[in-house]
Amino acid sequence: MRLVRHLHKGSGTSQGTIRRVADRLGYGVESVRMRVKQSDIDSGDAAGISLADRVMMKKIE
């Protein structure tokens, strides 16, 4: 996720950055996009349910 953020600062286009990182690492574009999105949620930069909250909800079930 740091690589995506670092490259995004230089280029300014999120989608192109994610595609380049995915190709470079050999991952699918959608996989990288979802990881970046979840990272933003976990850090409080985006709205959503954090991974820690998901784990806690699983334990409660």
Q: Is the pLDDT of residue 1 over 90?
A: no
Q: How far apart are CA 43 and CA 45, in angstroms?
A: 6
Q: How far apart are CA 45 and CA 27, in angstroms?
A: 24
What is residue 58's predicted lDDT score, i.e. its pLDDT?
92
Q: How far apart are CA 12 and CA 61, in angstroms?
A: 41
What is residue 3's predicted lDDT score, i.e. its pLDDT?
79
pLDDT tens-digit readout, 7-42: 766 666 676 889 989 999 999 999 999 999 999 899
Task: List, in sequence order, the alpha helices (H) in 1-61.
Answer: 2-11, 14-25, 29-42, 51-60
22, two tokens: 């995915």
Domain boundaries along the sequence of the chain:
2-60
56, two tokens: 């806690």
